[in-house]
């Protein structure tokens, strides 16, 4: 049986990332306000991205990984712009730039 990591786009444009064994059922649960406070307050939601795994622990690990990413990285993943992911992971603060300019 498959396990899924998924990303929903909420009515306010925010993203919700989750994992489940039963994807279709979970989407209905989100729409019916039965799970996740985040989506409950931002209905309707739309499924925008899915990854399939053999084990739930792999899907759960991936969920946690994606939840920690900035919006731009999530959107690159959703839009299949994988070539953008490395540059979106770079540090953008002044300390980073000044450190490397001095070297």
Q: What is the pLDDT along the chain (103 residues), one digit of tens a residue?
A: 799 999 999 999 999 999 999 999 999 999 999 998 999 999 999 999 999 999 999 999 999 999 988 899 999 999 988 776 666 665 555 555 444 444 4
pTM above 0.85, yes or no: no
Query: Looking at residue 86, what is its pLDDT?
Result: 66
Give the separation between CA 60 and CA 43, rounded to whole angstroms: 23
Strand partners, 17: 7
CATH number at residue 69: 3.40.1440
Total number of domains constituting the chain = 1
């Amino acid at each position: 049986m498959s396990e899924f990591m998924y990303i929903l786009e909420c009515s306010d444009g925010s993203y919700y990332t989750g994992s489940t064994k039963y994807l279709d059922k979970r989407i209905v649960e989100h729409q019916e306000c039965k799970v996740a406070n985040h989506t409950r307050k931002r209905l309707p939601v739309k499924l925008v991205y899915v990854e399939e795994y053999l084990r739930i622990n792999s899907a759960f690990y991936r969920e946690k990984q994606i939840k920690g990413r900035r919006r731009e990285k999530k959107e690159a993943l959703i839009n299949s712009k994988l070539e953008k992911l490395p540059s979106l992971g770079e540090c953008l603060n002044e300390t980073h730039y000044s450190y490397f300019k001095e070297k």
